[in-house]
Structure 1
Amino acid sequence: MYCVIFGSLSFIKYLAVLSSIMSDVLIKPDVAVHGKRNAKTVTFSRTPRGYWRRKRDTWTSGQARFTACKSPLSPKDRELLLDHTHETGFHGDNGSSFTLAWVGDGTGIILVLSTVSVPSDSFHEGGSTRLYRSEDYGKSFHDTSNAINNAFIKKDFGISTGPGNPQQVILTANVPFTETRGGVIFTSMDAGRKFRSVQLPFHPAQAIQFHYQDPKYLVAISIDDGLWLSQDFGNTWSEVHEGVQTFTWGSGITLFFSSSPKGTVEAARRGELILRRTQDFGQTFTTIAKNIFSFGYIGGFLFTSVMEKLGSPRVIYVSSDQGDHFNKAQLPSATTEQFYSVLDGDEDMIFMHVDNPGDTYFGTIYTSDDRGILYSKSLERHLFGGEAKSDFTNVTSLRGVYLTNILEEGGLIRSVISFDRGGQWKFLKKPENVECPENSKKCNLHIHGEHSPFSGIPPMLPLSEPTATGLIIAHGSVGDSISATRPDVYVSGDGGYTWWGTLRGPHLYSILDSGGLIVAVEAHQDRQINSLKFSTDEGQCWNIFNFTDHPIFLAGVASEPGTKTMNISIFGYRPDDDDQPMWVAVTVDFDHLLTRECDEQDYVMWLAHSEYGSDSETDGCVLGYKETFRRLRKLSACRNGRGYVVSKQQSPCPCTKEDYMCDYGFYRHEDTSECLPQPGLLNQTLEICLNGNLDDIQTIGYRKIPGDKCEGGFSPPRKEDITKKHCEKLSPSSSSSLPKGMLAVIVVCTCIGLIGLVIAAALIIMSRKTNCRRRSPAYRFTVLQLQEEEVCVNSESGPSSKRRSLEGPDDSDDDLIE
């Protein structure tokens, strides 16, 4: 789902980025919500011959010299854009929040909920809601509140849309918990044109969850911890289990969930949860693990954290066959003061963060083999900052690229990038058009990740899209380490190898037309805005367009997910005649500015991961093969169009040491490709337990990176034998298939979160403390248990929210698992 909650008008200060799950794991920021605001108007002209006149300006960015390019916009083009700029004022709407959701793929349909909240008691929040609908990408909105009987819709999880951009929509009404009949939802099969009211036999405690493929299958947890299931898109419901803490869909119609056998709020903290699954919609259940703390599912792998013996550290067990068999992951154990976090994963490999002991705010990233069992050390001192914020980012515009930040000794935060799925990490190169600050000993580009916007520094996370090959847009600074001062915007067109300083100061940005068009809006806190910037050459030069004569306080920018659109919507508010804030939506349509369809002359063949001027046989080889893309030339001002698809050619490469990770017990020496044994493990045979039998592994330190397709070349010896000696394995004492109703448990209260966040994607597998209050988690990024295609972000943190920082440890860790 693509859903945004614009923050309260009284204190719009912090931003949030909303996006859909991509590659079944990560989040792509297609729609953004923000609360920074400012105004800056710059006018340009265009030469009579129609060529862009480019002007270089040099700024001072912090202490760095920053050179950028401006391009004028001709009066004719300005008038053309004004003719296709549409402003909608939601008169009489002084609601505290706006929730926006895109419905369908290429339909242009947007639903907006305007909510006025009136706190009444600790269990129910009253208020009113208006529902607006647009069928033209936000150019016009119509009040359709009567379609839902003018009901008050929940502000925090009131709107959900089906997976894969179908036209199924669910609105969850805010009904008092004292209502014995249960809650009410409104369902639509036609993108919100008509709604059907459904009386629920329970009160939902969180958003209705769609099946990741088939939207007619719905699951929800009630406020009394019941697990409810519908097989007909919410028309009828049945309770399949009681005392449920968390759940997630597995493969097919498999549903995993954890429950408490003792009905105590301490069950999760003490590791007394039971992990069960049903593969027939709750008719029968199988207990697949006991005495667990938490679990998650990603990329076909089922993880669970357990305490093998009373008082011992926690460990991770993993299953690749939907819970039939579990094997112990070869990872360091974690005490109750540490946690595990799955940063990313697919069917080939898992990125796992293991927290260091104590309040260090860093840990170690490990990468798995294709079974999710053997883990190799990938990156030390990985920043995992206040409120469990990780800066780990999957660059989706180019295969194998990941960005993150490390916390060096001395407290400096520095950015590193990997081009081979964590095999090696390097510092980012300084942009050519940015000078190093004076007295800078190490001059590199450093990118703001999730920890930074959490601290209120940049208004948006790094942005990349699969359809915009090689393109990355991010906030950052140049110098010894990341700067806490106002960041600038940097762009890379080659997947992070080289960067360009492109916009001064913080901005909200969006990728349109599959990368052929970038739009940005200045994002400051204290001023109104009336202009946007757009670029057709990957941010080398920018045009400025004044989209309104009446400036607004910026709340956010939104574009249709998937980058195919040519429309951008800017949301904000301005005081009306009665000094009451009024919501405003301005949609700018670039369809009539870039009218020429791109032809073959507008495209160029580009070898990804290639070093300029290199003629090496392995030039461009990453993960065992080369990829040559057909991509748009930077100076071609044309449109890719909705029919554009990424075109690429692949060719295999000979194997080298770069195609291998360091095996378990080895580490890669700094600035080399050599894998050296860790102290104490030299010449030792590694024994791991696989399905109850010991597996002896002998290696000289190298293991091929999962998903690597190299052929021939370097091949280190590695031998794996299964002995007849048995070993311990995770299995319930009585795993059996039981009929529905025979596994009744006492209802308990839990706070292990199921809600996901945007901006960095991580699952906390185990944590420090468990707090039992049913409230929204402070951080919310439980991606492994997040329904695909459904992300809802609330930006109402407010400036008064207390945040845990690197400088000041907080004794409270209730935020990690709730």
Structure 2
Amino acid sequence: MLYRHATVFCCVLVLLCSAALCTDFEERPSIPRRSEQTMFLKSHKTRNLLSLKDSQQPDHVKMKSSEESAQNQCKSLHGYDSTLNNNTHTVLLVLTTFQVPLFIMRFGQSRLYRSEDYGKTFQDITDLINKTFIQTEFGIAIGPENSGKVILTGDLTEGRVTKIFRSDDFGKSFVTSELPFHPLMQITYNPRDSNILLVYSINYDLWLSEDFGANWRKIHETVCLVKWGMNDTIFLTTNPNGSCSDRGTLELRKSLDYGKTFKTIGSRIYSFGLGGRFVFASVMTDSGSTRMIHVSVDQGETWDMAQLPTVGHEQFYSILAANYDVVFMHVDEPGGEYSDKCSLHIHASYSISMKLNVPVQPLSEPNAVGLILAHGSVGGAVSVLSPDVYVSDDGGYTWFQALKGPHHYAILDSGGLLVAVEHNPSHPISQIKFSTDEGQCWHVHNFTDDPMYFTGLASEPGARSMNVSLWGYRETIMNQYWVSVTVDFRQLLSRDCQENDYIQWLAHSSDISDPTDGCMLGYKERFLRLRKDSVCWNGRDYIVTKEPTTCPCTLTDFQCDFGFYHAENSSVCVEQPDLIGHSLEFCLHGRKEQLQTSGYRKIPGDHCEGGITPERKEIDLSKKCVSNLLRTELLTEEHSFNSAPIIAVVIAVLLISAVAGVIFIKKYVCGGRFLVHRYSVLQQHAEANGIDGVDDLDTLEVGKMHYHDDSDEVHTASHC
């Protein structure tokens, strides 16, 4: 195994970034006023490796862990220490900062290093940024995809302007620009055009650049939150009274022309979020003490109230995932019955926020299908003791204990290689663990003879590389210095994977004798996955090969329609007794309609075809109903309405007001048409989006999912 040490004799802190995302290391040594930030910049090519139809594999192979097979595989891999050699090329930028506070003043220094061999060697390029001190909190902004663009933001010094250093060639050169404002946040890129930048200042003014930061113009004042939406749309919240602290009185606005004009699309906003084609807004009710979620599918032009309960000040909404078809939200189940037996409890952002001994969150990668690594504990409830590392190879249905105690871990080579380092901040380490069989068997390698205090594990985002960098520090009598160790696993997997190294795997499979086995939301997917006993290299150009198949509709593809519920211990939907004999009217996309239903409606996002098709009809009543967060009222179309004098209208109102109570009682208490209900129907768009139908827009910051107990927030996540 070849590894290289790179030492930095200054106080630093580790941060890993890519051209598309940025991930904070959670564990940091207790050395004050120091930071180091690391950026991986690399472009990739892709190719279709295999075809499912050409594969000479059985129709279905169910992959499960086997202790016996794991023991055999462990014996098959040996002599790896002498076979791992240097064979890597990518761009790595490391920014180190050193700060010394002195009374009310602060003095600092930054140094910038560049590597083209995964950190085995570094070149000091500090002169390219004129030895400027770079912001430690949000000083690095990486361009989307693999644009090669990097922006470094200089620290604000009293009496001086803020400078940024722009590079569009992976850090080979930088251009200096002065900002006409002082930024308060990290510069954000338009996901579709990396030349378009957004940032707001310490005065909460929103600024935009259309030429990669060379020139800026102010497009809005008093901006509380801003996000890029679909099709270059800018969404923001603002407050006419100039204060962002008074949540619940904010206005939601959008711009389609890069801030030249803005349109207000909501008021009384508490917070908002974006996910796929959906725009979510948490809106204060008239009482001012509770909030409701509203949803828009047309970028805020019209809104529908979500069928969710209101929440108070001590509660919040959490949208777990959203794409073009469906939204997943966290909800409680009052009165639900839960199993008393021991279960595996997975630790995530909440455990980290509660300072449990959990160094990293659960990890999965789109190109490592079905593979999940996570910390967990077994018992009747979540344990505060140190967790162990568990691995699932079937998307989370089953788990097995892979490592004892907490670890930092990473997925390499599209799941063909897993690496882990023990989490023990109080003791120096010298070993790294790796597995070539999805965590069933682990091998230990001593990467150094001089142990170091480990602070972070860094691998190139995308899980395609064969290199991993370990960051830490060593102590001497006089000082502490940082060390970077890069381990290259390329020669461990020296053989390229061939067709016979892959097997077919059916996701969500539980009973291969069932014709609907693997069906989830109306379709099933077969993938080609690497055999656990195949020690070979997937390669950088590996892409997942899958074959989706539409399933015939069954009752499991439908949910009970409005006014119906599941009978106890049955999948049959029955009508609520208090609604029998009443007609149901509802507002859908601005039109008042009447519902005729047999009790079922297809689950949003379900792609099933044929099979069971319960009868359902929506009748247009030729009436408009408006819900746009600016006003909510029911309007009737004025086909034959003739204007009347105002006095006549007033007189008519006075005359009918005397009998209004009688009419109300007769119509709604004694019988007749039922009250109007409003609910959202998330339409299917399988024809437009295809069977995959996944939105490629994710304006949320990946890898930085923090738990907030006082806000309504959106977490979008993608799982295999």
State the TM-score bracket (shorter-chain normalisation).
0.7 to 0.9
**Corresponding residue number in structure 1 for 2:517:** 619
Q: Looking at CA atoms only, which structure, 1 or 2, has the larger radius of gyration?
A: 2
SS at match of 1:447: strand
**Corresponding residue number in structure 1 for 2:144:** 163
Instruction: Give the C-alpha shift of residue 790 in structure 1.
Output: 4.9
Q: For the structure 1 residues 685 and 156, does the alpha-carbon distance in structure 2 shift closer, same or farther, using more than 3 Å as the test?
A: farther
Residue 695 of structure 2 corresponds to residue 716 of structure 1: no
Q: Judge which range, 698-707 or 282-291, deviates more.
A: 698-707
**Corresponding residue number in structure 1 for 2:257:** 280
SS at match of 1:288: strand
Cα distance in 1, alignment partners of residues 577 and 407 from structure 2: 47
Q: Of 607, 613, 635, which residue of structure 1 is paired with 2:506?
A: 607
Contact 1:693 1:725 in 2 (8 A): yes
**Corresponding residue number in structure 1 for 2:189:** 210
Cα distance in 1, alignment partners of residues 376 and 703 from structure 2: 26
Residue 233 of structure 2 corresponds to residue 335 of structure 1: no
Cα distance in 1, alignment partners of residues 558 and 209 from structure 2: 46
Q: For the structure 1 residues 119 and 323, does the alpha-carbon distance in structure 2 shift closer, same or farther, using more than 3 Å as the test?
A: farther
**Corresponding residue number in structure 2 for 1:597:** 496
Contact 1:153 1:173 in 2 (8 A): yes
Contact 1:604 1:632 in 2 (8 A): yes
Q: Of 27, 32, 36, which residue of structure 2 is paired with 1:34?
A: 27
SS at match of 1:71: helix
Cα distance in 2, alignment partners of residues 10 and 562 from structure 1: 29
**Corresponding residue number in structure 1 for 2:230:** 251
Residue 81 of structure 2 corresponds to residue 78 of structure 1: yes
Contact 1:55 1:70 in 2 (8 A): no
Q: For the structure 1 residues 68 and 792, does the alpha-carbon distance in structure 2 shift closer, same or farther, using more than 3 Å as the test?
A: same
Q: For the structure 1 residues 160 and 789, does the alpha-carbon distance in structure 2 shift closer, same or farther, using more than 3 Å as the test?
A: farther
Residue 105 of structure 2 corresponds to residue 112 of structure 1: no
Cα distance in 1, alignment partners of residues 71 and 360 from structure 2: 20
| Matched residue count | 605
Instruction: Give the C-alpha shift of residue 285 in structure 1.
Output: 2.1
Instruction: Give the C-alpha shift of residue 730 in structure 1.
Output: 2.2
Task: Give TM-score scaled by structure 2 length.
Answer: 0.76
- 1:516-564 per-residue CA deviation (whole Å, 9 max, x = no partner) reads 1111111123211111111111111111100111111111111111111
Residue identity in the other structure for 1:653: C
Cα distance in 1, alignment partners of residues 120 and 705 from structure 2: 24
Cα distance in 2, alignment partners of residues 301 and 275 from structure 1: 15
SS at match of 2:460: coil
**Corresponding residue number in structure 1 for 2:165:** 186
Residue 503 of structure 2 corresponds to residue 570 of structure 1: no
Contact 1:627 1:649 in 2 (8 A): yes
Task: Give TM-score scaled by structure 1 length.
Answer: 0.67
**Corresponding residue number in structure 2 for 1:763:** none
Instruction: Give the C-alpha shift of residue 73 in structure 1.
Output: 9.3
SS at match of 1:453: helix
- 1:413-459 per-residue CA deviation (whole Å, 9 max, x = no partner) reads x9xxxxxxxxxxxx8xxxxxxxxxxxxx6133222122122222322
Instruction: Give the C-alpha shift of residue 693 in structure 1.
Output: 3.5
Cα distance in 1, alignment partners of residues 576 and 273 from structure 2: 30
- 1:116-166 per-residue CA deviation (whole Å, 9 max, x = no partner) reads 2334688x8642211121111222222211111111111111101111122
Instruction: Give the C-alpha shift of residue 514 in structure 1.
Output: 0.7
Contact 1:187 1:195 in 2 (8 A): yes
Residue identity in the other structure for 1:317: H
Pairing of 1:400-411 with structure 2 (within 5 A): none
- 1:593-629 per-residue CA deviation (whole Å, 9 max, x = no partner) reads 21100111111122222225x3221122222122221
SS at match of 2:83: helix
Contact 1:211 1:787 in 2 (8 A): no
Cα distance in 1, alignment partners of residues 123 and 369 from structure 2: 37
Q: For the structure 1 residues 685 and 191, does the alpha-carbon distance in structure 2 shift closer, same or farther, using more than 3 Å as the test?
A: farther
Q: For the structure 1 residues 157 and 675, does the alpha-carbon distance in structure 2 shift closer, same or farther, using more than 3 Å as the test?
A: farther
Pairing of 1:256-275 with structure 2 (within 5 A): 256-268=235-247, 271-275=248-252
Instruction: Give the C-alpha shift of residue 30 in structure 1.
Output: 7.7
Instruction: Give the C-alpha shift of residue 654 in structure 1.
Output: 1.2
RMSD: 3.7
Residue 412 of structure 2 corresponds to residue 509 of structure 1: no
Specify every segment of 5 or more residues in structure 2 that has no aligned partner in the other structure, as ranges: 1-9, 31-64, 632-694, 714-720
Contact 1:30 1:510 in 2 (8 A): no
SS at match of 1:615: coil
**Corresponding residue number in structure 2 for 1:759:** none
Q: For the structure 1 residues 35 and 815, does the alpha-carbon distance in structure 2 shift closer, same or farther, using more than 3 Å as the test?
A: farther
Cα distance in 2, alignment partners of residues 586 and 722 from structure 1: 67
**Corresponding residue number in structure 1 for 2:280:** 303
Residue identity in the other structure for 1:689: C
Residue identity in the other structure for 1:260: N
User: Identity rate of aligned residues, in percent?
Assistant: 46
Cα distance in 1, alignment partners of residues 287 and 341 from structure 2: 48
Residue identity in the other structure for 1:531: Q
Residue 323 of structure 2 corresponds to residue 346 of structure 1: yes
Contact 1:630 1:648 in 2 (8 A): yes
**Corresponding residue number in structure 2 for 1:582:** 481
Q: Of 542, 558, 569, which residue of structure 1 is paired with 2:458?
A: 558
Pairing of 1:77-476 with structure 2 (within 5 A): 77-81=80-84, 83-84=85-86, 108-119=90-101, 126-176=107-157, 178-179=158-159, 182-268=161-247, 271-311=248-288, 313-353=290-330, 363-364=331-332, 442-455=341-354, 456-476=356-376
Residue identity in the other structure for 1:288: I
Instruction: Give the C-alpha shift of residue 10 in structure 1.
Output: 9.9
Identify which of structures 1 and 2 has the higher relative contact order when contacts are C-alpha pairs closer than 8 Å and 6+ apart: 1
Residue identity in the other structure for 2:275: I
Q: For the structure 1 residues 264 and 516, does the alpha-carbon distance in structure 2 shift closer, same or farther, using more than 3 Å as the test?
A: closer
**Corresponding residue number in structure 2 for 1:633:** 531
SS at match of 1:510: strand
Residue identity in the other structure for 2:393: G
Cα distance in 1, alignment partners of residues 169 and 109 from structure 2: 24
SS at match of 1:216: strand
Contact 2:18 2:460 in 1 (8 A): no
Residue identity in the other structure for 1:163: P
